[in-house]
Structure 1
Amino acid sequence: MPIKVLVVDDSALIRSLLSEIIQADSQLQLVGVAADAYVARDLVNKHAPDVITLDVEMPRMDGLTFLEKLMRARPTPVVMISSLTEQGSEATLRALELGAIDFVSKPKLGISEGMQAYANEIRAKLKVAAGARLLKRAAVARPAVVEALAPAAPIVGTEKLLAIGASTGGTEAIKEVLLGLPADCPGVVITQHMPAGFTRSFAERLNRLTRLTVSEAKDGDRILPGHALIAPGGRHLLVSRSGANYVARLSDAPPVNGHRPAVDMMFHSAARCAGRNLIAALLTGMGRDGAQGLLDIRQSGGYTLAQDEASCVVYGMPREAAAIGAAEEVLPLAAIAPALLAQARKRGGGNRV
């Protein structure tokens, strides 16, 4: 049976382009198009689509309000069609928080040519979303609340390094892990598959919500305790050493596993620098990026874990890691931050500031 797709967008051009892209694939079936949320609601009830493409900016009811109502009344996988602006990226992150599975960014110029260039990506994301697990979203915990739950013993040592990789479903998974980390945790490096223009907003959002100082990585940044660096969209994040310090390096090397930034690039470089002092987690995501890098970390003496199937939006990357023996443990999302902290304490060492 083909995957039933509903297109919701106030732009007639985008509706037409998405319809063409969907109808060109025999595995997808276009069941309707809607110019606003009210028409979309009726089509959802009529056709019960497997996946919906949704624009943020629409008349009568904006996309985020519709998404929130949809997830309460009739949870359905959603792929957001987002404008590549600061405001657009903030709205997209909010949509992912509300339960959207993934997003595709609209090109700023040459929309017709740009959307056609993304045709394969759009079709792939629709297929992944249709099979994704819709998770119940917990209310966002505030740092003050998490503080009370954090272990009282201080973490000694930033010879230790935390590394986290994720893809589809990862923005919320990463947020949950970071909310569980105290302000004195080892430095953190993060690669989330995300295009340029969105990672800075993602970092700023995490910086507001967690007790860590979170920023988009710049070449030469020191990886400090209590800080988290996120790979910028379109560039690989690598870890190197400068004397006793860990330092972030950015690379424009070709995509790896179809991605730039790639989790494998970060994991391999971190394994070389940190060895047994490295503590790494591979979270939800489609494909296999990160699995070989996680194995490299384990073989270098570091601690490795993968997110379990039940708590993943898409159990792809962690499944690959578990299959090749890269993950020392496979844990539910809620147990990952405590496991990372337990390993950081277990491995000891002295704090470097």
Structure 2
Amino acid sequence: MSAHAKEPIRVFIVDDSALVRQVLTQLLEKHTHIRVIGMAADPLYAIEKLRKAWPDVLILDLEMPRMDGLTFLRQVMAERATPTIICSSLTEPGTACVEQALKAGAAGVFTKAKLGLRKGLEALEDELVRSVEHAARQAPVRLPAGKPVEEKKTVAVATCGLKSPERIVTLGCSTGGTLALEYILRRLPENCPGIVIVQHMPEKFTADFARRLNSLCQIEVREARHLDRVHSGLALLAPGGLHMQLKRSGAHFLVEVLDGPAVNRHKPSVDVLFRSAARHAGNQALGVIMTGMGDDGARGLLAMREQGACTVAQDEASCVVFGMPKEAIRIGAAQHIELLQRLPALICHFADPANQQ
């Protein structure tokens, strides 16, 4: 490895099966950019070892002695938010365990049903390495020291009103975002403005997440398709593994769903969505950056503010991880800082024609 090469991704494995720990370690350490720094057979033993050497990525089983994986995940996220992959036979797409793991802050899920089949190890290796790389991209960034941010608890959304009847809401989030999005979308009426969402989530799971939200909400929620029109009462979620950007078509907005390189280590990227909203929606848009690790979306939100959009950051108290909102606040991208519980009312207030300038 050259002097200029990046440090390897440090991984810690928590699984009660010695065979699983061995196979995962063998697969990962075939790759020079990944290093397994430790492993443990149960969560209580793991936390002692983690406090001595914290990894970049945690791989965690759900079914273990003394403490289940979901309880341990919540403890880890509360103590030191760490990108975590749930590796379990229980994590097939669409299952309740997947939903609970993502709500608890998991960066991704990985099904280990094939671990006992040696002939399937090559395919398993590729999926595992991609999962680890995806999780590592969600690691928190170190922010430079600065003055404490004075939070504003009153949002004067009326000053950001539109003169056009078409308004659009853009939401961006990562760790903890699945629960935050559910909280917001379930409280919106059918006549709310069109919503476009980037939630950092692995490929294959965004469609299930959107379907679940759709079953709970008054509005329609679905995974976005290329050239979908954005309209009142509809929320479009960017597909995992693809970028989504906003375009104007006459008096309407469309979304483009496109492949391309990761931006800020993410695909989909919140910055891609927010920058496109700045270009094509200007002061017709509301941008909200919510809970998540890293800094994706902060500069895009600043671009939106510079083009006249209303911009809001979720406050620290209601975030699972304050990374993305904190960076947006630090660079002056957020006009307002608000509790999660206030965001549904804020969106409705933004949509009210009475608030036009």
Same-fold status (TM-score > 0.5): yes
Aligned AA for 2:196? V
Q: CA-to-partner distance for each residue in 1:181-205, whole Å, 9 max, x for gaps?
A: 2121001000111121011011011
Superposed CA deviations along residues 203-229 of structure 1, whole A, max 9, x for unmatched, are 011111222100000012111211100
TM-score (norm 2): 0.72
Match of 1:55 among 51, 58, 61: 61
1:81 equivalent in alignment to 2:86: yes
What is the CA deviation profile of residues 150-209 of structure 1, one whole-angstrom value per residue up to 9, with x for unaligned ones? xxxxxx986010110111221111112212321210010001111210110110111112
Q: Which amino acid aligns with 1:196?
A: E
Task: Give the Cα–Cα distance (whole angstroms) in 1 for the partners of residues 46 and 90 of structure 2.
Answer: 29
Matched with 1:307 is 314
* Superposed displacement of residue 329, structure 1: 0.4
The structure whose residues are more often helix, as a share, is 1
Cross-structure match for 2:128: 115
| Counterpart for residue 341 of structure 1 | 348
- The structural deviation recorded for 1:86 is 8.8
Tell me by how many angstroms 1:272 deviates: 2.2
Classify the secondary structure of the residue corresponding to 1:94. helix
The 3 A distance-change label for structure 1 pair 235 and 59 is same
Confirm or deny that 1:243 pairs with 2:250.
Answer: yes
1:105 to 74, 93, 110: 110
The 1:280/1:348 distance shift into structure 2, 3 A limit, reads: same
- The question of whether the paired residues in 1 share the 8 Å contact of 2:243 and 2:259 is answered with yes
Q: 1:249 to 1:84 in 2, by over 3 A?
A: farther
Which position in structure 2 is the counterpart of 1:327? 334
In structure 2, the residue matched to 1:94 is 100
CA distance in 1, matches of 2:89, 2:354: 42
3-state SS of paired residue (1:88): coil
Going from structure 1 to structure 2, the CA distance change for 1:70 and 1:237 (only over 3 Å counts) comes to closer
CA distance in 2, matches of 1:75, 1:317: 17
In structure 2, how many angstroms separate the alpha carbons of the residues matched to 1:122 and 1:225? 34
Query: Is the 8 Å Cα contact of residues 172 and 270 (structure 2) preserved in structure 1?
Result: yes
Which shifted more, 215-224 or 251-260?
251-260
Task: Output the CA distance in 2 between the equivalents of 1:123 and 1:329.
Answer: 30
Note if 1:163 corresponds to 2:176. Answer: no
Equivalent AA in structure 2 for residue 250 of structure 1: V
Task: Return the letter of the residue paired with 2:324.
Answer: M
Equivalent residues in 2 for 1:251-266 (5 A)? 251-266=258-273
Counterpart Cα distance in 1 of 2:135 and 2:235 = 30
CA distance in 2, matches of 1:55, 1:11: 12
What does residue 153 of structure 1 align with?
none
CA 1:347 to 1:242, structure 2 compared with 1: closer, same or farther past 3 Å?
farther
8 A Cα contact 1:182 1:226, kept in partner:
yes
Q: State the shift of 1:326 in Å.
A: 0.8
Task: Tell me how large the CA RMSD over aligned residues is.
Answer: 3.9
Amino acid at match of 2:45: L
Shift, 1:5, TM fit: 4.9
Letter aligned with residue 296 of structure 1? A
CA contact (8 A) 1:82 1:88 kept: no
- Give distance in 2, aligned partners of 1:326 and 1:277: 17
User: Between the two proteins, what is the percent identity of the paired residues?
Assistant: 35
Distance 2:228 2:27 in 1: 44
Aligned residue identity for 1:111: L
Q: Aligned runs of 1:1-353 on 2, under 5 Å?
A: 5=12, 7-8=14-15, 10=17, 12-13=19-20, 16-18=23-25, 30=38, 32-34=39-41, 40=42, 43=45, 53-56=59-62, 58=63, 67=70, 79-82=84-87, 87-90=92-95, 91-97=97-103, 99-105=104-110, 110-116=123-129, 118-122=131-135, 159-345=166-352, 348=355
Structure 1 unaligned segments of length 5 or more: list them: 35-39, 129-155
CA distance in 1 between partners of 2:47 and 2:331 (Å)? 43
8 A contact 1:86–1:198 mirrored in 2? no
Task: Supply the distance in 1 between the matched residues of 2:91 and 2:72 (Cα, whole angstroms).
Answer: 25
Q: Give ranges in structure 2 of 5+ residues lacking alignment.
A: 1-9, 115-119, 141-162
Using the TM superposition, give the Cα deviation of residue 105 of structure 1 relative to its aligned residue in structure 2, in angstroms. Answer: 3.4
Q: Retained in 2: the 8 A contact 1:86–1:197?
A: no
- Secondary structure of the residue aligned to 1:17 is helix
